Amino acid sequence: MHTKLKELLIEELNLVDVTVDEIENDTPLFGEGLGLDSLDAVEIVVLVQKNFGVEIKNMDEGKTAFQSVGSLADFIKKRQV
């Protein structure tokens, strides 16, 4: 799950200078980590719904899920049908 998620993030968000191996599971998605912004957050919501069938319904869920790649993977696993 983590590797697939990293690959999708790199591809969908056009992270051209980043490889899967460079992203640790605890790498923050925003700020000092991958340096994503609020527009990227919207793209991640769409990416998660399209690829995993999981909806991020509100900001509280988003804050929890978007802490790191690992937290996003855990969020998806818990909510997949």
User: Could you list the pLDDT tens digit for every one of the 81 residues in the chain?
Assistant: 999 999 999 999 999 899 999 999 999 999 888 999 999 999 999 999 999 999 999 989 999 999 999 999 999 999 986
Q: H or E element: which one contains 9? A: helix 2-12
For the domain with range 2-79, which CATH number is right: 1.10.357.10, 1.10.1200.10, 3.40.366.30, 2.40.30.20? 1.10.1200.10
- Both tokens of residue 60? 């509280």
Q: b vs e for 25-49, b when ≥16 Cβ sit within 10 Å of the residue's Cβ?
A: eeebbeeeebebeeebbeebbebbe
Contact by Cβ (8 Å): 44, 14: no
CA 14 to chain centre: 13
